């Protein structure tokens, strides 16, 4: 009698033990998907378009005339710093680019860019 009771108890514990991690795992998976989806889309959605007006290698800056940006900046012409000074050699005055800026620097630094064809 006692032995049988223990078996049922163990079975119940074992079942509970398997059920809880299984649920937890499903939760983590769903959270992972929810977080991963916007993160994967963000980079391209965060790109604004600009026209290269001036390149100043001494100051390490590029002046861009840009349209309204995803970060909320209205259209304007302004000088940006660039994350990698070598990019100034890759940019050309009159070239259209798509670019992303660094929120940690009040969006005053170009974090990445790509030419628009
Ligand atoms: Cu601006």
To the question of pTM greater than 0.85 for the whole model, the response is no
Confidence check: pLDDT of 8 > 70: no
What does the pLDDT look like over 62-102, one tens digit per residue?
999 999 999 999 999 999 999 999 999 999 999 999 999 99
Question: Strands 48-56 and 109-115: what pairing?
Answer: unpaired
3-class SS of residue 89 = helix
Residue 25's pLDDT is 47
Distance of CA 113 from the midpoint of ligand 1 (Å): 15
Q: What is the domain partition of the chain in residue ranges?
A: 1-45, 48-115
In tens, the pLDDT along 9-25 reads: 555 555 555 444 444 44
Q: What's the sign of the alpha-carbon dihedral 30, 34, 37, 39?
A: negative
pLDDT at residue 107 tops 70: yes
Averaged pLDDT score across all residues of the chain: 78
Residue 44 reports pLDDT greater than 50: yes
Distance 87 CA to ligand 1 centre (A): 19
How far does residue 5's CA lie from ligand 1's centre (Å)?
A: 74
Q: State residue 37's pLDDT score.
A: 47
Q: How far is the CA of 66 from the centre of ligand 1 (A)?
A: 7
Q: At 45, list the tokens.
A: 């959605």
Q: Which H helix or E strand runs over 82?
A: strand 76-82
CA of 75 relative to ligand 1 center, distance in Å = 6
Total Cβ atoms within 10 A of residue 82: 20
CATH numeric code, 48-115 = 2.40.50.320
């Amino acid at each position: 009698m006692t032995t049988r009771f223990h078996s049922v108890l163990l079975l119940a514990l074992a079942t509970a033990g398997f059920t809880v991690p299984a649920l937890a795992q499903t939760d983590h998976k769903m959270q992972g998907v929810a977080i991963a989806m916007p993160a994967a889309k963000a980079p391209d959605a965060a790109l604004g378009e600009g026209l290269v007006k001036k390149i100043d290698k001494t100051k390490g800056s590029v002046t861009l005339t840009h349209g309204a940006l995803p970060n909320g900046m209205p259209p304007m012409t302004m000088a940006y710093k660039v994350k990698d000074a070598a990019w100034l050699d890759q940019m050309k005055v009159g070239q259209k680019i798509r670019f992303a800026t660094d929120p940690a620097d009040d969006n005053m630094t170009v974090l990445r860019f790509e030419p628009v064809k």
